[in-house]
Structure 1
Amino acid sequence: MGGGTREEDDSRPSKARRVDITPDPPCQTKHAHRAEGPAGVERSRDSAPVAPSSIMGATRAAPRYLLRVQYDGTNFHGFQRQANARTVQGCVEDALDAFAGGGGGGGGGGGGDGADTMRSSIVTHGSSRTDAGVHALDNTMHVDLPPRVSRREPTRALPPHEPHVVASALNHFLKKRGAPDVAVTRCIRVDPNAFHARFSATGRTYHYRMHVSPTPPSLFERGRVWHVCSGAGDRDAAGGGADGCHENAGHDGRWGLDVDAMRVAAAHLVGTHDFSTFRASGCQASSPVRTLWDVRVDAAPSWPPFPASPATDSTKPDDFSKVEVTEKPDEARRRSRGKDRARAPRGRADLGAATTGFDPATSRPLTSGGVVVTAVGPSFLYHQVRLMVATLRAVGAGEIDPASVPALLAARTPRAVPAMAPAHGLYLGRVHYDGTREWSSLGAVPVEEGAD
């Protein structure tokens, strides 16, 4: 089985959380794999795979490759392979099997009929097991491909595939077998006796994206950003759908988050602490102590990545003053009676660009639009980042004093902090390998349970 971390953590229950989706199409297919492939990366008709190498230490004849992968986690039941669910690892193994395996198919990618989905002849090992709905800009995994031998001369060994051939072939078979939401961005051949995708990793960077606005995010951003539609009371995780939220305004009718206060709170999380408060139930780590190198809060455009105004000076702004139908004042009052909600100013389009206002109580600037929380460290607990983000949002909304974060850490219970932020705003940004963490297939360096 593939080792690694779950979501933003290193320790998790062995079974990933399920989401109610219907993958279309599944990356697993029932027909036999054909030998065809993209130009230059066809499975050679003059070569035949042999039995795969052992799980941890590859034989000298089995080349090991590090794969850097990106994926949209919306329609996946997490990273780790499962017998009856569509997973990232399963889809990649399915593509590997089509390219270099025995062609039996099924890496747990598409789900379906039980054990038949776990028959891939090629096994991968991931560095980080992201949860259902979590995305990745850069996750990693390694694979030991079967040694190649000539079909015509079975005793003659063929050279290993070049890394660019492996990457191109995998992207071809991922698309062909119904997984266009996964892509191999880079492939590197590594020493099988000195590198492991999980145990050689020295750090991880996570990003969490929020869209702070009374209006919903763009259609193209739904499922990829947390819609924080007011200063207080936002609960995508507790109800309202994937992108829904309550329509109440923040404190004093304000919109936006106090990013400066969030930064003060984030500074208390940097360093080595007992993070039991930010550790979800089901965490299997033997110790709640973790080290964070950096926790950063930035204001950034959430959408769109285009100029906010037309480039030509001759273009006039929209004017609907002669055609817009509006309610009479008394009708508007009747409709809003008993409803405590704030509306976006009429005539102003919220494009998601980061903007600032001021809290009338403190005169501190408030940010609306895009807010991104970045956390960097060697390893994380189960749901640690999502619990921290929910707490930082509450700080930005004025619900929690930033100076109280040390007391929250000391409480050592997740009941002391708000419900965790939803999965779809979280991105695994990077898995780091700086060469300082040694691993050997002959005598693996002991690794604490639950650590990366």
Structure 2
Amino acid sequence: MPRMALGVAYDGSSWQGWQTQTGGRTVQDRLESALGQFLAQPVGTICAGRTDTGVHGLGQVVHIDTAVQRRMESWVRGLNALLPDSIAVQWAQAVPDTFHARFSAVSRTYLYLVRNSRVRSPMLHGRAGWVYHALDLASMREAARFLVGEHDFSCFRSSQCQAASPVRTLQALDIQRYGDFFLFTFKANAFLHHMVRNLMGALLYVGQGRQAPAWMEALLAQRDRRLAAPTFAPDGLYLAKVDYPAEFGLPVLPADKALFSHLGFYPAGC
């Protein structure tokens, strides 16, 4: 049966995460409902990575199997006409049956956007995290060096995590400052449940001077979630990009460009 890949973006603020639930208030439920209307038959989706309540998607990738034929433009415009304003298909492409949205992915990139200001902005509610205390960029970058590479990330793992192993390879962790905004980029082969939000909590502790950068190395060695910082809010977290082998020819957009394009503004210095 022919296979289609779809690129999906969504504002996660009003949804209970990606994965289907009984109440139907998830992105997967709403997308599959639209697909059922569009194709006149029920269809299931496989995604690149499940996101939690309040987490956004810029570069989520899903695949479906269906014998129904539609023009590529119709996949985008037709589905978007059936989706709520907070979810939109960005592109559609036929792929071979060897493609799998989850298992073919070689890396996933998450972005976390933080506004560092004495006063919160109502315009950025749900779109960016907010930190009141001043953040030190150099300290956070020093702490980030301890996290890159293959590690047991038990101290940054949710108690509800169902992954068989806590070992992951964090391929890159970059932190940039644009005026009042800090942009954190996390790239890994895969992530544990709440891993990015837990890493953010620890990095922000370091940025505020509550812990030294070397604390990060100690946390990795101790492998005890109770010793790390609290889980940070989901507001500014985005699944920004999923990378696949070039043979599949899927659209590629730099993660930061995707974020600022969707937000509709470019922070000073970007």
Give the TM-score normalised by the residue count of structure 1.
0.54
* Structure whose CA Rg is larger: 1
Contact persistence 2:61–2:101 (CA under 8 A): yes
> Could you tell me how far apart the structure 1 residues matched to 2:88 and 2:146 are?
37
Q: Which amino acid aligns with 2:111?
A: H
**1:262 aligns to 2:140 (yes or no):** yes
> Could you tell me how far apart the structure 1 residues matched to 2:150 and 2:166 are?
10
Which residue of 2 is the match for residue 156 of structure 1? none
**1:412 aligns to 2:223 (yes or no):** yes
> Could you tell me how far apart the structure 2 residues matched to 1:403 and 1:126 are?
36
> Could you tell me how far apart the structure 1 residues matched to 2:91 and 2:17 are?
21
> Could you tell me how far apart the structure 2 residues matched to 1:80 and 1:417 are?
27
176, 179, 192: which one aligns with 1:381: 192
Larger fraction in strand: 2
> Could you tell me how far apart the structure 2 residues matched to 1:85 and 1:91 are?
7
Query: Number of aligned pairs?
Result: 248
> Could you tell me how far apart the structure 2 residues matched to 1:210 and 1:401 are?
20
Contact persistence 2:24–2:30 (CA under 8 A): no
Larger fraction in helix: 2
224, 233, 249: which one aligns with 1:422: 233
Quote how far apart the aligned CAs of 1:278 are: 0.7
**1:131 aligns to 2:34 (yes or no):** no
69, 72, 75: which one aligns with 2:11: 72
Residues 295-321 of structure 1 deviation map (CA, whole Å, 9 limit, x = unaligned):
111102xxxxxxxxxxxxxxxxxxxxx
Quote how far apart the aligned CAs of 1:83 are: 2.0
Q: 2:7 is paired with a residue of what secondary structure?
A: strand
**1:203 aligns to 2:107 (yes or no):** yes
Quote how far apart the aligned CAs of 1:284 are: 1.0
Which residue of 1 is the match for residue 266 of structure 2? none
Quote how far apart the aligned CAs of 1:413 are: 0.8
RMSD of aligned Cα (Å): 1.4
Residues 180-211 of structure 1 deviation map (CA, whole Å, 9 limit, x = unaligned):
1000001010112x111111111100011111
> Could you tell me how far apart the structure 2 residues matched to 1:68 and 1:138 are?
6
> Could you tell me how far apart the structure 2 residues matched to 1:96 and 1:436 are?
26
Contact persistence 2:174–2:185 (CA under 8 A): yes
Distance 1:412 1:436, change over 3 A: farther
Contact persistence 2:206–2:212 (CA under 8 A): yes
> Could you tell me how far apart the structure 1 residues matched to 2:199 and 2:38 are?
41
> Could you tell me how far apart the structure 1 residues matched to 2:247 and 2:188 are?
15
Matches within 5 A, 1:25-424: 62-102=1-41, 121-145=42-66, 147-148=67-68, 160-174=69-83, 179-192=84-97, 194-217=98-121, 219-230=122-133, 256-300=134-178, 354=179, 369-424=180-235
Contact persistence 2:105–2:244 (CA under 8 A): yes
Mind listing any 5+ residue stretches in structure 2 that lack a counterpart? 249-270
Contact persistence 1:101–1:122 (CA under 8 A): no
> Could you tell me how far apart the structure 1 residues matched to 2:209 and 2:200 are?
14
Q: Which amino acid aligns with 2:93?
A: I
Residues 123-144 of structure 1 deviation map (CA, whole Å, 9 limit, x = unaligned):
1111111000000111011111
> Could you tell me how far apart the structure 1 residues matched to 2:16 and 2:62 are?
17
Q: 1:84 is paired with a residue of what secondary structure?
A: coil
> Could you tell me how far apart the structure 1 residues matched to 2:155 and 2:169 are?
14
Quote how far apart the aligned CAs of 1:404 are: 2.3
Which residue of 2 is the match for residue 250 of structure 1? none
List, as ranges, runs of 4+ consecutive aligned residues in structure 1 with deviation greater than 3 Å: none
Q: 1:269 is paired with a residue of what secondary structure?
A: coil
Q: 2:201 is paired with a residue of what secondary structure?
A: helix
Q: 1:424 is paired with a residue of what secondary structure?
A: coil
Q: Which amino acid aligns with 2:194?
A: H
Quote how far apart the aligned CAs of 1:85 are: 3.1
Quote how far apart the aligned CAs of 1:435 are: 4.5
Contact persistence 1:275–1:288 (CA under 8 A): yes
Contact persistence 1:202–1:436 (CA under 8 A): no
Contact persistence 1:65–1:163 (CA under 8 A): no
